[in-house]
Structures are given as structure tokens and as C-alpha cells.
Amino acid sequence: ICAGHRGIRPIGDEVRFSYGTAGCRDHAGRLPFVVFRMGDLAALRARAVEKAIEVMLTASHNPEEDNGVKIVDQGRIAGWRIGVTTVSQNYALVNATDD
């Protein structure tokens, strides 16, 4: 998925990201790869429902290097369910290999 994004490299297969109701959180240095994957998912969802889907970068009260990304589907934070996708499907996409 990320092969066309210059400078964005997949994280090794030994790293697993979690995706839950708060989205996907991790060290900022490892998130560009995840952000592009979540962007791809948001684009697919937007096409399916013909509505705008938001990708939200989060930091709030966390330490500077602790950031996150989540999808907002039609005004609702979509960590638990993004239309027809579920947390397990989002987890699978974020952690899929590029093969």
C-alpha cells in the first residue's frame, strides 16, 4: 500500500500496532506508515458511502512523541466501527505486509 509514498517505509513484521476505540496510538516516528494506511481506508470508506470521512491526528495531553490517528465517519469517532469495517479489520489493515 505504501510503496508509492516517498520516504514512508513499512515497519518490520515484528512490530504490531493496536487499533481500538481511540484509534491507533504509538511513537510519532513510527506513525507515518500507519497514517497512510488509515488514509487509504478512509478513502475507500468515503467512496463506498459517497460522503466525507475524516482522518484525525491526535496528541492531546500525551507526551510529545506519543501521537495517534483515528478515523471519523460521518461525524462520529469511528474506532469501534467504521461503517462496514470493524476494529479487527482495521487492525489487519494496519498490520498487513506489503506482499
79 is written with which cell numbers? 474506532
Q: Annotated catalytic residue: which of 60, 84, 88, 97?
A: 60
Q: What domains appear along the chain, each with residue ranges and CATH number? A: 2-95 (3.40.120.10)
The whole-model pTM stands at 0.66
Spell out, as residue ranges, where the chain has pLDDT lower than 70: 1-14, 16-22, 60, 74-88, 90, 98-99
Return the residue matching grid coordinates 460522503. 51
Q: Is 18 assigned a catalytic role?
A: no
Q: What does each C-alpha distance from 84 to 6, 33, 70 come to in angstroms?
A: 30, 23, 16
pLDDT at position 1: 42
Q: pLDDT of 62-89, one tens digit each? A: 777 778 888 777 665 554 444 545 666 7
